[in-house]
Amino acid sequence: MRDDKARMAVVFVKHRTQYRYAQPVRLLEHRLMSRPRDSHDLRLLETGLTVEPRPRDVRWLHDVFGNSIAVTQFDSASDEVVFESTFLAEHFPVAAEALTLEPYARHLPFRYSAEDSADLGLTKQRQYADPERRVDEWAHRFIAMSEDADTLQVLTAMTCAVKSELRYRPRHEPGVQAPTETLALGSGSCRDFAVLMMEAVRSLSLGARFVSGYLYDDKLLGKGGLVGGGETHAWLQVYLPGAGWVEFDPTNALVGGRNLIRVAVARDPVQAPPVTGTYIGCPGDLQSMTATVEITAA
C-alpha cells in the first residue's frame, strides 16, 4: 500500500501571460493550454481562468492528444490582453524505484506488442534530421555503458548525462534547436533537452512524447531551487510496457513524476504551446509578452 500522505504534495499554481500593444488591436481567437487533466497521479481541487478584456465566448475542447484547451473569442479592440490560469491540485508522484516493467521490456533492445506498436505510431519515429548519426551515436553510447542494457538504467544514465554534460541556457524565443545543434553547442533550454532525449530514445525504437507543464521544488515551494522552476517547463515521457508513460526530466536529472506537474503531451513541441493567438493591427504593434508562473504550497 502506498503512503499517500508521505508522498503527496498540494500545490497552488498561477500562470499569468500578458501581451502589450502600441495601440488598440483587434483580438482574434486565442487558445490556452494551461489546465492539467485529472488522473491517478494528479487530482484537481479548484481551477480558475480570468481573461482581460473579457472575451465574448470561452469554450473548452480536447485536442487530438486529449489535452484540455480553452478557446477564447473577442469582440473588442484592446492595447493589452491578459490570461491568468490558476489551479489547486494534489499531486501523487511516482517514485523512480517503484517503476515496474514487463519482463520482456527490462533490457534493450525489445519490441513492443503489435497492439502497442500500432497505437504508439509516430511517437516512435524520428522527427529531426540526423544525417551524420550524431544523435544515434550519443544514444547508443549509454547501451554500451550498461553491462546488460537494463532499460531503466540506460534511460536514467541518459537523463543524468544531459544535466551533467550540457549547459542549461534559457531561451525565450519560440521554437526548439535541432538535437544535433544542442549536441554541437553543448547547451540548450529545457525544451531543447527534452527534444534531444526524445530523438535519442526514438533511435532505440522507443515511443516518446514531449511534455509541457510546471516544475516545483517540494522543499522550496515558491522559491525556485530546481532549474526551470518559476516558469513553464518541458520534459519527455517514454512508453515502457508495465510502467506506461514514464516521466524523464533531463534538465534536472529527474526520473518519475516527482516535482513535475504535467499539463500537455504532444508528439512535437510545436503542438503544445501554452498560449497561441492572433490579432489584426500594424506590423510592430506587439510591444511585449511576459509570462510568470507562481507555485506555492497549499
Whether residues 75 and 142 fall in one domain? no
Please indicate, yes or no, whether residues 143 and 178 belong to a single structural domain of this protein. yes
Task: Clarify whether residues 59 and 129 are in a common domain.
Answer: no
Same domain, 40 and 13: yes
Q: Which three cell numbers stand for residue 285?
A: 504593434
Confidence of residue 171 (pLDDT cuts 50, 70, 90): confident
Domain count along the chain: 2
Average pLDDT (94-104) is 91
Residues 151 and 17 in one domain: no
Going by pLDDT thresholds of 50, 70 and 90, the confidence category of residue 77 is very high
Find the CATH number of the domain harbouring 68: 2.60.40.2250
Q: Are residues 123 and 257 in the same domain?
A: yes
Do 207 and 286 belong to one domain? Answer: no
* In a shared domain, residues 248 and 129: yes
Q: What is the CATH number of the domain that holds 173?
A: 3.10.620.30
Q: What is the pLDDT of residues 114-150, one digit of tens each?
A: 999 999 999 999 999 999 999 999 999 999 988 899 9
pTM over 0.75: yes
Cell of 111: 519490441
Q: How do residues 5-16 score in pLDDT, each as one tens digit?
A: 447 889 999 999
- Domain co-membership, 208 together with 80: no
Count of beta carbons in the 10 Å neighbourhood of residue 75: 11
What is the enclosing helix (H) or strand (E) of 192? helix 190-202
Nearest CA to 272 out of 286, 257, 262 is that of: 262
Q: How many Å apart are CA 231 and CA 15, to the nearest integer?
A: 8
- Do 185 and 124 belong to one domain? yes
Host domain of residue 144: 97-271
Phi/psi at 81 (5° precision)? -140, 135
Location of C-alpha cell 545543434: 181
34 SS3 class: strand
- For residues 278 and 249, membership in a common domain is answered with no
Co-location of 19 and 138 in the same domain: no
Q: Quick one: cell of 256?
A: 518519475
First to last CA, the chain: 25
